[in-house]
Amino acid sequence: MVRRRPTMRDVAREAGVSQSLVSIVFRDAPGAGEQTRERVLEVARRLGYVRDESARSLRSTRPLSIGVCFRLGRPFHDAVLEGLYRAVAGTPYRLVLSAVSGSRAEEAALDDLEACRCGALLVIGSLLEESELSVRARRIPLVSVARRCDSAEIDWVVSDDEGGMDRAVAHLQGLGHESVTYLSCPGASGGENRERAFRKVAQRLGLVGGAQVRVGGESEEEGVRIAEEMVAAGNVPSAIIASNDSLALGVLGGLLRHGVGVPERVSVIGMDDLKALHRPRVKVTSLCQDTSRLADLAIGRALRRLSPAEGRGTRPRGTILPMSLEVRDTTGPATLGKRPGGA
């Protein structure tokens, strides 16, 4: 019943190389050409080779785990995790996950990863003070995903909120909208950054008088509440950008329930939570982060830190990836003769 596990010897035979070359590849040591390296890793993956860490960790001093700290119940985090698993496949490294949730602090999640001897940490959407991240980054290489860091210790990969916002506002202007209300999300990772981006873009694109910022939130419930307040106050803007898709879905639902047509009367744009958009018949126009590329780059950064050649001393790298505006069903031409809200 017990299937025999493939050994390093099996990998060597199948790849047509010596066992010591396989070992070199797995240890990421110098001596293997790029093509050989890739062939060995491909064969190892195909055969389902699993390193026996119980023996190995006693021999090697180099940890083979990359720790990932993520938040439970966030579609964006789940999408990044999917990407990280794809990016790490075929490398000698494996991911070890630790979750943050309502009842579990980010510090505790990171402590667990450090206690696990991870070689590097990836932190998705951190809400910690940057100084706290820096302290950890001095002990262990740390890559911040979806949260920009200015310290000299931390690599980071984020999406270009400002460029994305530019695209969103320009799209609305192109449809004739002269006023846009931005619904913020103060508590979220990157929330301030997005709000600042909106203000800058609104100014740059000449939307000054027609740009409003209103405190939003992270949940659909908050979106519904805001939409209903707008309707009740007879103050429904012609276009809304919500700082996340849950909020956008709530706004959409709240407006539709009160007979305010989307996009006939109001255009709505969301941000981020790709999967939250998969609601039957509701296709929200949204600014999307490229979770695959964020993940690829994050793994690349971690591997660079873990490589004996480059190692730790080098300066950290930050990368800003473009966001795409996915135009779907919730944005359309501005109504010229504006009816009072709620009509």
CA distances (Å), 273 to each of 12, 78, 249, 314, in order? Answer: 43, 10, 11, 34
Least distance from its own copies to the Cβ atom of residue 103, Å: 6
Q: What are the phi and psi torsion angles at 182 (to 5°)? A: -100, 130
In angstroms, the CA 122 to CA 96 distance is 10
- Return the number of the residue (98 or 289) whose C-beta is nearest its own copies: 98
In angstroms, the CA 36 to CA 60 distance is 23
Least distance from its own copies to the Cβ atom of residue 217, Å: 12
Q: Write out the residues near its own copies by the rule CB under 8 A.
A: 1-3, 48, 50-54, 57-58, 65, 72-73, 75, 78, 81-82, 85-86, 94-99, 101-104, 107-108, 111-112, 114-117, 131, 134-135, 138, 219-221, 223-224, 250, 253-254, 257, 275, 278-281
- Return the number of the residue (223 or 263) whose C-beta is nearest its own copies: 223
Least distance from its own copies to the Cβ atom of residue 334, Å: 27
- Return the number of the residue (140 or 323) whose C-beta is nearest its own copies: 140
Least distance from its own copies to the Cβ atom of residue 280, Å: 4
Least distance from its own copies to the Cβ atom of residue 100, Å: 10
- Give the contacts of 96 (CB within 8 A, at least 6 positions apart): 65, 66, 67, 68, 113, 116, 118
User: How many helices (H) and strands (E) in the chain?
Assistant: 12, 12
Helices (H), the chain: 8-15, 19-26, 34-47, 53-59, 75-88, 106-115, 130-139, 161-174, 191-204, 220-232, 245-257, 291-306
Least distance from its own copies to the Cβ atom of residue 108, Å: 8
- Return the number of the residue (111 or 310) whose C-beta is nearest its own copies: 111
- Return the number of the residue (127 or 256) whose C-beta is nearest its own copies: 256
Least distance from its own copies to the Cβ atom of residue 316, Å: 17
- Return the number of the residue (19 or 57) whose C-beta is nearest its own copies: 57
- Return the number of the residue (78 or 162) whose C-beta is nearest its own copies: 78
CA distances (Å), 239 to each of 259, 276, 281, in order? Answer: 16, 21, 20
In angstroms, the CA 245 to CA 243 distance is 7
CB atoms within 10 A of CB 8: 17
